[in-house]
Every structure is written in structure tokens, then in C-alpha cells.
Amino acid sequence: MRVGTRGSALALVQARHVATMLGGEPAGIEVVPITTSGDRGALLGDKSRWVKELEAALLAGEIDVAVHSAKDMPAEPPDGLLLAGVPRRADARDALCGSPSLAALEPGAVVGTSSLRRAAELRALRPDLRIVALRGNVDTRLRKLAERQASAIVLAVAGLERLGRADAIDAVLDELVPAPGQGALALEVRAEDSVARAAAAAIGEPDATDCLTAERALVRTLGASCHTPLGAHATRGADGALTLRSFVGLPDGSQWLRDELTAGSGADPELFGAAAGTRLLAAGAGELLRAAEALGAGSPPPASTPEGVQL
């Protein structure tokens, strides 16, 4: 079985982990690195730049399973492909590197992130901060922090832990709503390949699958894209209940909506996520998302105190 992945250091670590879960070399599992449009610097209209070449290789029969960071996947797979498994999810939260907390940062401090969602949430919480684009892989961004190109940077806890760089985490930002799928791996296969489907499903975890399903249903209901600041994070409680937190806002942080919704243990994750999205739309999320598309990523801090609604 051939496991396809992007060639970045983090993607390779993730794919090798999946390959081990599938049985590793003794079971004939081969990891196949594939360069995507996103790796080459292409800026396509949506998240497909990170998965398009992997999906093409799947459809061509060149690989049998594609391992994606779930937050990179578009809301709908191409015809002939399906998401067959979600292994146990890592910590989905965002990490602050360079400061013990957001509150500890001085007014006007520079905070680096490549995420539109993180920038919007940070500006909504601390409009006095200067949020700057900081790109590159994890090691590059940590090097830029060490060179004081920023007072602090925000990265995913899961990525830092998977790369063995948890030592760089100075705080975990519970006040931010993570991106849909953050911390989760998505295993995509050909719909007709029963062997790969069964193998991917066997290493999937039901709770992780249900939580990702709810988050992706919310994204589809909102019609959100990678150009809109959106957070969605579902968790399963000890009683089996599903809780879904969400954030929709403008890139400059001036307006936002937050919500938290809980459903009982028997709730359908797909319907629950769609209902949460419908609730946000009724509160004005559609207008915010359309305005966010027009504003773009290079927004300055809000000129006045941010205005938001907690549903």
C-alpha cells in the first residue's frame, strides 16, 4: 500500500505515523512524497493548492491513501474520492511562542502568523497588537522569532509536538477557536478501493471522525473559504455530548461572532454541524464572510474597539 503525502518535514512525520499504524514496512507500506502546488508557492483560489496533486495521484492509482492535515482539505472531495478515516486527534489548540500569555505582550508588540483566522482573533482580543505575516516552515518561523523579527508567534500545538518542538510553546491559547480540522489527520482514498477504505477506517477513531465531520459540515453550511477567518472546534465530552465552538470575523478583528453549541450523545455530527452553521448564518455570519472576502488578509488593526456577539 502506497501512502501519499506532501514532502514537508511535518507532513512526512504525519505520513510515517500513519504508515506505522497501517503496519509499516513489514506490511509493505510505502510513503510516497508528492510536491503540491502550495509547496511550489502557488496561490490558488482555495485550499486545493495543498491537496490537488495528492488527489490526482489517488485518482490515477499512483497512491492508495493520501494523508492530509485535515485543516488543509476543501469542504468537499472530488468525485471518486472519500475521507475514509481520522486517527486519534492531537491537541487542536493554538500555541503562543515568545510570551507567557497574550496579556503579557506590550501594547504595539509584533505578533507573527500566516493564518487569516489567527490574525482576526488576535486583533479582536488585542487590537493594539501589530499582527504581521510570518511565513515558512515551523523551524523557519521559530528562527525568525529568535532573530526578534516578532515579539511572539502563533503556531499549532499539534505541529510543534509532532516535530518535537513542544519546548517552544510558552502558552496555549484557549481563548482562540482553532481552525476546522486543526490537529486532525484525514485519510483520503478512492471510493472503489475497498482494501484501502477498510485499512483507513480501521485506524480511525470514532470520536475524532465525528468531531471533524461536525466541523466540516459547519464550513460547508457557511460556504466559507480559506480567504475568510473561521474557527470551528468540536469536542466529545465524557458523557458523549458533542460541543462545537465557532468564530467568524473580519480580518481586521473589528466585527465578529462567537458561538458554542452542545448536542446530546446521540446527535448526528453532520446534522449538528450544519445546524450550528445555520445558527451562525441567522446571526449575520454570511454578511461577515462576504465582507471578509472583500477586505483580504492585509487588514490593519481596527480603528475603534472591536464589536462582537457571543451567541
Q: Report, as residue numbers or ranges, the catalytic residues.
A: 72
Cell of residue 246, nine digits: 465557532
Contact 121, 247 (CB under 8 A): yes
10, 39, 129, 97: CA torsion to nearest 10: 20
Paired with 95 in beta bridges are 155, 172
Cα 240 from Cα 210, distance rounded (Å):
11
- CA R_g for the chain: 19
CA 105 to chain centre: 25
- Best CA proximity match to 228, nearest among 291, 306, 156: 291
The C-alpha cell 465525528 sits at 210
Q: How far is CA 129 from CA 82, 102, 216, 226, 289, in A?
A: 41, 10, 31, 23, 23
**Which residues touch 307 (CB under 8 Å, ≥6 apart)?**
254, 255, 256
**Which residues touch 228 (CB under 8 Å, ≥6 apart)?**
116, 248, 289, 292, 293
Cα 20 from Cα 54, distance rounded (Å):
20
